[in-house]
Structure 1
């Protein structure tokens, strides 16, 4: 019941606050919340709707991206509380503002520091993804199971997210990635990129900055479908407040994860 209810909440909040403003944002509905980062009225209204309804469903703290932007201390609930919701009301806000269809609405449930349930709604594709710890992952209610990437790295497809790295490190990673078949900068939305691993469209992704609302939903989706989502030292990913460890490698299977880490290390 919980899985279905949260999926419904995301779809309805999207239909009410996000989708009507896609390619229709009015003057004054886009603001800069930090240098190079924008927020819209759609982000804030959707987060308010989702947060209220999630608390009605399970009365635990809600760690929302926009709420934490206003009060960073709220993110401590991920470590200090037995359970907490994570909410990203519009993942890929810059795409949304630019009128690009690569954005998603996401939420996850964290218990004792681990993501135990996750939801991703892609409004422009009409696709819902969900995962539950130990129970599996789904796309529109169909089970997901990712096969390995195969043994030929020249056929692997990957994403390198290097925006927050210094130029020397960017160059080193790009040089190491030449052994792989196709490597792109990605789609600027984790809610679009993680499902590309489970849907066999990508074989690996290297992220550097790992804000919890961006990576908790997709991380569980990938691991429950048979993939790997781990820090570069091999530690399984767990959502932490902003300011925690950087670097996260996502891959279709353990062998691919090890091979990519070796090439990029």
Structure 2
């Protein structure tokens, strides 16, 4: 667990942090319509990939590698173990000079996330989680504090950009039942820790790219929360395009309450 945390922090120090608010012309590119990538993303992923393979020689499914060759993502389904890597989560924030970005990694065995790591460079904060063993921030065990019982006192993040029209309609009609909602911080590696530590009570996502959601989902569930598909099925990482829709919450009661209000379920 400690070695992977070191790999992320060292790759960040080498390839990511020196470019924060210092990206040169030509170091930001569009990899797909509306999706940007930087030299920091690509260089950090190369470093992390090489060092993870030295640690455990299984396939590495990195966000940027999959952008170049989508077939790589099928290893999540086909291989007994894979690493998932998001070299710069929150790239739009990174490019804009906002501090909400993270470097993330997960280990997946037989389709289930068994360990995860999140490094937040701007605050030098390290999160990690291990299946059945707990969640930590900088070596301190995390236990999610109780969420308010009254939905009018709950705070949450609602990601509506990729929602289908029916879910968007229901979400917009029912969001006023909560105390406060926001579009989030454009970085799963910041938003999931907010739930795990009690700064936010729930998040509704639609698009669930595995490198974005495997690390934080394990962190939240090991801290006592819930990360599940809209039908209640616990989250499992899937190749892009396989399954969407995810509700994350502080505890089982908050998850059921939030789903009932937002989705009418």
Pick from 29, 39, 47: which aligns with 1:31?
29
Pick from 118, 121, 125: which aligns with 2:119?
121
* TM-score normalised by length of structure 2: 0.98
Q: CA deviation at 1:94?
A: 0.5
Q: CA deviation at 1:168?
A: 5.7
Any unmatched runs of 5+ in structure 1?
Answer: none
Decide whether the 8 Å contact of 2:145 with 2:197 is kept in 1: no
Q: CA deviation at 1:167?
A: 5.3
Decide whether the 8 Å contact of 1:148 with 1:256 is kept in 2: no
Provide the rounded CA distance (Å) in 2 between the counterparts of 1:257 and 1:191: 20
Q: Deviations over 1:131-170 (max 9, x none)?
A: 0000000000000001331211111010000111245642
Pick from 2, 9, 12: which aligns with 1:11?
9
Provide the rounded CA distance (Å) in 1 between the counterparts of 2:47 and 2:15: 8
**Residue number in structure 1 paired with 2:72:** 74
Decide whether the 8 Å contact of 1:147 with 1:253 is kept in 2: no
Provide the rounded CA distance (Å) in 2 between the counterparts of 1:256 and 1:168: 23
* TM-score normalised by length of structure 1: 0.98
**Runs of 4 or more above 4 Å deviation:** none
**Residue number in structure 1 paired with 2:130:** 132
Q: Deviations over 1:98-129 (max 9, x none)?
A: 11111000000000000000000000011100
Decide whether the 8 Å contact of 2:120 with 2:189 is kept in 1: yes
Decide whether the 8 Å contact of 1:47 with 1:88 is kept in 2: yes
Decide whether the 8 Å contact of 2:84 with 2:105 is kept in 1: yes
Give the count of matched residue pairs: 263
Provide the rounded CA distance (Å) in 2 between the counterparts of 1:7 and 1:57: 12
User: Which aligned pairs between 1:50-65 and structure 2 lie closer than 5 A?
Assistant: 50-65=48-63
User: Which aligned pairs between 1:1-265 and structure 2 lie closer than 5 A?
Assistant: 3-166=1-164, 169-265=167-263
Provide the rounded CA distance (Å) in 2 between the counterparts of 1:188 and 1:160: 11
Q: CA deviation at 1:244?
A: 1.1
Secondary structure (helix, strand or coil) at the match of 2:61 reads strand
Q: CA deviation at 1:199?
A: 1.1
Secondary structure (helix, strand or coil) at the match of 1:164 reads coil
Provide the rounded CA distance (Å) in 2 between the counterparts of 1:231 and 1:148: 22
Superposed CA RMSD in Å reads: 0.9
Q: CA deviation at 1:171?
A: 3.7
Any unmatched runs of 5+ in structure 2?
Answer: none
